[in-house]
Amino acid sequence: MTAAGDGRSKEAGSGALAERLNHLFAHMHPAGAPYTNAFVAEEISRQAAEYGGAKVTEQYLSMLRNGRRTNPGPELLRALAKFFAVPVGYLLGDLSQPQVARVEEEVRFLAAMRDQRVRAIALRSVGLPPEVQESLSTIICQFRRQMNLPPDPPERGGERHGE
């Protein structure tokens, strides 16, 4: 299963792959610093059986992220998708734009939920009636406006607001 010449890998090999990998590196990590190329390469290679036998070097991962390499094998794409807990189609370029936007919104959500205070606010609203949740949302929007922030966080719903 090493056939990589079926159009999908070519699309994944475009600048979109580098952008998507960089998006995952920037947002899909535990609290603290983002993952490094070295860490991801070591984890995938060290646990090759868990990642479908894929192995990767820090240098190759760097080349994928900066667009100098554009056609990784499907095993590596599956391993990276598994590592970052996203559908492999996200990296392959097989998803529709609405599906890509949904994956990226989930990534942003998970990144936001790493913040203990954001998580506490969200969890405290669970179980409240919808009208109370709507009131809380309105209050948060008012605070955002007072602080000269956009009503919603950047990139909400797949829309890009000046990244």
d(CA 136, CA 4) in angstroms, rounded, equals 49
Q: State the architecture of 9-95 in CATH terms.
A: Orthogonal Bundle (1.10)
The dihedral over CA atoms of 115, 33, 21, 101, expressed in degrees to the nearest 10, equals 10
Neighbours of 97 (CB within 10 A): 8
Task: Identify the residue with better confidence: 9 or 81.
Answer: 81
6 has a pLDDT exceeding 60: no
Q: What is the pLDDT of residue 150?
A: 84
CA distances from 30 to 24, 35, 86, 157 (A): 12, 8, 15, 23
User: What are the backbone angles phi and psi of residue 105, rounded to the nearest 5°?
Assistant: -65, -40
Q: What is the pLDDT of residue 118?
A: 86
Give the mean pLDDT of 135-151: 90
pLDDT tens, residue by residue, 16-27: 899 999 989 988
* Alpha-carbon torsion (12, 80, 29, 124), positive or negative: positive
Give the mean pLDDT of 26-36: 84
What is the percent of the chain with per-residue pLDDT over 90, rounded to a whole number? 50
What is the percent of the chain with per-residue pLDDT over 70, rounded to a whole number? 85
Q: Which of 51-60, 76-85, 93-102 has the lowest mean pLDDT?
A: 93-102
Q: Please state the pTM of the whole predicted model.
A: 0.67
Which sequence spans correspond to the domains of the chain? 9-95
Task: Identify the residue with better confidence: 118 or 1.
Answer: 118
pLDDT tens, residue by residue, 109-119: 888 887 788 88
Task: Identify the residue with better confidence: 162 or 149.
Answer: 149
